[in-house]
Amino acid sequence: MQALPHYPLFIDGQWTEGASGQVMASQNPATGEDWASFACAAPQDVERAVAAARRALDDPDWRDLTQTQRGKLLYRLAELIERDAQEIGRIETTDSGKLLAETASQSAYVGDYYRYYAGLADKIEGAVLPIDKPDMHVFTRREPIGVVAAIVPWNAQMFLTATKLGPALAAGCTVVLKASEIAPAPMLEFARLIEEAGFPKGVVSVITGDAENCAIPLTRHPDIDRIAFTGGPETARHVVRNSAENFAVTTLELGGKSPILVFDDADIDGAANGLIAGNFGASGQSCVAGSRGLIHRPIFEALVARITEKMEQVVIGDPLEGETHIGPLCTAAQIDKIKATLAASVEGGARIRFGGAPLERPGNYMAPTLVECSGPETATLKTEMFGPVMSLLPFDTEDEAIALANASDFGLGSGVFTQNVARAHRVSSRLKAGICWVNTYRAVSPIAPFGGYNQSGYGREAGIEAIHDYTRTKTTWISTSDKPMANPFVMR
């Protein structure tokens, strides 16, 4: 019998097993069978990774690189990612169940994120201040914030790593990357490219493990200066509490229940495609999933009919096959949560218009589901299920639509479908969300920042400003007078 692939930890430029010897198996969501194993970090391993990052921060091999030289390393990393995108995508698909078509193309595209920050590396500038005191030359410079703990979930690993690692390395920081203990293989595979690109030892370590032995020791470690976290609100609360131990600057990119508003003047086919992309892209396993469809009542039935027509053409199957549109969910626990939420919704008066049950086949397969909600309190409108469930609710007026959209604890993404440009501007400006797509959905770019309101977190990733979040400003005062400093006890 052939041995399963095994992934050790990558710490201080070395591949190593965890100090405790703990090993976990990773399941293929399409089959329900173990396909690989990986080493789990113990607190001693976290200590080693952070110590290596602290040492590398002051090592001349990293510290004395010019900003342009750091950018060249990032350019090299981008080339390697694009070279291996298909293989990384295959590993991610096997590990998480996401479609190969998405994982491979997403892996290739994140090369542009590293190139974007490579180009910004030597454009991190200070300023000379027009100070209000004579004989003083005062200037600022931006210096690396220090050691970064970057924590990413399993559902968009290469992308969410790029939005943290790119600006952190461009700014001159060092990073301990904590991959999810669910489906971490792509991140450990990615560590090989960090090594091949030529980053000095300790600049990036990649570890994984459970909360008690890995995440908690990392986020509360006294030598961590910055925490960049993507995940759920409950875990985020623990991260924030842990950061009280080290006062690390923290940003949170969390989940959402994003609304998509469709007005009666919208292109019906485009709106149907937007709702399908928002709900069934990545099998609904996306933090920006547009899982609340708010539909103008005059077109409600016509739009439901168009969506149903398209859903009947959806191919559910092996995520490694090119013809598959929807693959399995990453974990069986997601199926259980969806079933419970659907049951509560139906009990409250909701109507299942399509799907509504797991598929009778090996693996974690859930039928794409369309729910006509009975009102704004329907459970599927409130609960982030991380699966292919679309909840639809009619509205009568623009103000009602906006009120329904904003009636959420979350505020990450949003969408508006309308042919009226004035309405598009008016409505998008009133939506309480960090991102608003108009007549499209789920578009991203390294140039465009993203992040949320409310329980969707704080801080922004991507865009030019993100690089400043990995720096500190130092102000330097230089006296240009030939005279010695005056007696401080003589007041004038």
Q: Which residues are catalytic?
A: 253
Q: What gap in Å lies between CA 307 and CA 257, rounded to an integer?
A: 20
Quick one: how many helices (H) and strands (E) in the chain?
Answer: 15, 21
* Residue whose C-alpha is closest to residue 184's, from 27, 14, 11: 27
- Burial class of residue 67, CB neighbours in 10 A (0-12, 13-18, 19+): middle
DSSP code of residue 213: I
Residue 353 burial (CB count, 10 A): 17
Q: Which residues contact 401 (CB under 8 A, 6 or more apart)?
A: 261, 263, 294, 296, 395, 427
- Structure tokens of 358? 């797991």
Q: What gap in Å lies between CA 319 and CA 340, rounded to an integer?
A: 25
In which element (H, E) is residue 276 found? helix 268-280
* Residue whose C-alpha is closest to residue 50's, from 150, 143, 157, 144: 150
Residue 350 burial (CB count, 10 A): 23
Q: What gap in Å lies between CA 118 and CA 162, rounded to an integer?
A: 12
Q: What gap in Å lies between CA 225 and CA 210, rounded to an integer?
A: 22
User: Are the C-beta atoms of residues 447 and 463 closer than 8 Å to each other?
Assistant: yes
DSSP letter string over 374-431?
A: SSTT-HHHH----SSEEEEEEESSHHHHHHHHH-SS--S--EEE-S-HHHHHHHHHH-
Our measurement of the distance from residue 351's CA atom to the centroid of its chain's CA atoms, rounded to an integer in Å, reads 32
Q: What gap in Å lies between CA 112 and CA 215, rounded to an integer?
A: 29
Q: ∠ CA(373), CA(308), CA(338), 5° rounding?
A: 50
Helix (H, G, I), strand (E, B) or coil at 446: coil
DSSP code of residue 485: P
